[in-house]
A and B are shown apart, each in its own frame.
Chain A
Amino acid sequence: MFPSVRVQRLPQGGLTLALGLCLSLCLSCSAGAAQSGLAYLGEELRALQADPFANPGLLWVDRGTALWQAAPAPGVPACASCHGAPESLRAVIPTLPRWNPATERLENLEGLIRQCQSARQHQPPAPYESEALLALTTRLAHGARGLPLSGAVAQEAAPALARGEAFFRERRGQLGLSCADCHERYAGARLRGDRVSEGMINGFPIYRLTWQTLGSRHRMFRWCNEAVRAEPYPFGAEPYLELELFLRHRGAGLPLETPAVRR
């Protein structure tokens, strides 16, 4: 998955990422303000993301539009029958995941879509990472592109936010690296052709060349966990929802880019 990372433990207990190739720090990136993964891409991928025709993620946008308008079964209302245009939900997207006071749990976009499918369309909810769920998620988030990620977190979600941050800073896996090691400390470093970004979530679902397909935030978390040989959590698991909440808060102000293109 991540063959080029070698980790050395220094005598004083510090960690060094020996990258095999050059480790060049990002001088062009201004310190402090959060930066989208877009800022860490090469010219070519930026152009691909901006291309209103050839961005491959738009295939899922098209499919999402079709699913949004279609009745899932005869006599069952389509998403559009109740909600109108997908853009009618655009204001909610940057606030997800959010705290649901009724269930006293966090809910993200995938969870809300699945909930409407089961409670309001009386259908089995689309499985996580299925083409259908990715398409609907991408379509809805695409409708909100340009809106800034919200930093607001409900009072009741403060403990969840704190757990999300703790997860981000905790060393894990056989390589003993935290999310923060890679996405704060080594942000801007080169890993083969790849530049490590700040690990922001404003482009999701993203079309990732490494995957040759589109993937969700939780797929990315799983990939990053596996990169350090840590056991990944299931899609939709509580620790990932908390992490997602923390990352939204951490990236507050970044404009949504769905579908972003990434290496």
Chain B
Amino acid sequence: MGTLSLPVRLALPAEAPAGGVVSLRLLLQHPMETGYRIGEDGARIPRHILTRLRVSYGDRVIADLTLRPAIAANPYFALSFIADETGPVTLEVEDDRGATLTETRMLTVVP
């Protein structure tokens, strides 16, 4: 298992009021090559896509996406959830060549 060597941008506040809406934004650099395109040499360009995106908060999985070739390159994801406990927010990404990315940020709930 490798790691994704291309950059990722992750935006998540470090603190949120209890019961407040938190937004998580994510921009990933990835070719999202569909596997259907023909290259300049006339050969099919092999598929290379992100396959999975999982976000967990504390011990709950709050998003678990299976990704398909129809997504544009360098995809952007945004999701929001309610801050109800102080805990880690973990992002896990996988692509179809075994590259993975795991990133954890603490979210502190303030009164």
Contact = CB atoms under 8 A, between A and B. Distances in A.
Interface in A196-229: 207, 209, 212-213
B6 A63 contact: yes
A56 B27 contact: yes
B25 A54 contact: yes
A56 B25 CA distance: 13
B74 interface: yes
Nearest to B75: A56
B31 to A, nearest CB: 7
A63 B11 contact: no
A62 B7 contact: yes
Contacts of A149: none
A58 interface: yes
B72 A212 contact: yes
A31 to B, nearest CB: 35
Contacts of A66: 7
A58 to B, nearest CB: 7
Interface string A41-63: 00000000000011010110011
Interface in B28-84: 29, 31-32, 72-74, 76
A98 B107 CA distance: 49
B9 A53 contact: yes
Contact of A59 (B25, B27, B31, B32): B27
A131 B31 CA distance: 12
A213 B73 contact: yes
Nearest to A61: B7
Contacts of A207: 74
12 contacts: A54-B76, A56-B27, A56-B29, A56-B74, A59-B9, A59-B29, A62-B7, A63-B29, A209-B72, A212-B72, A212-B74, A213-B31
Given A66-B7, A207-B74, A209-B72, 15 more contacts: A53-B9, A54-B76, A56-B27, A56-B74, A56-B76, A58-B9, A58-B27, A59-B6, A63-B6, A63-B7, A63-B29, A131-B6, A212-B31, A213-B31, A213-B73
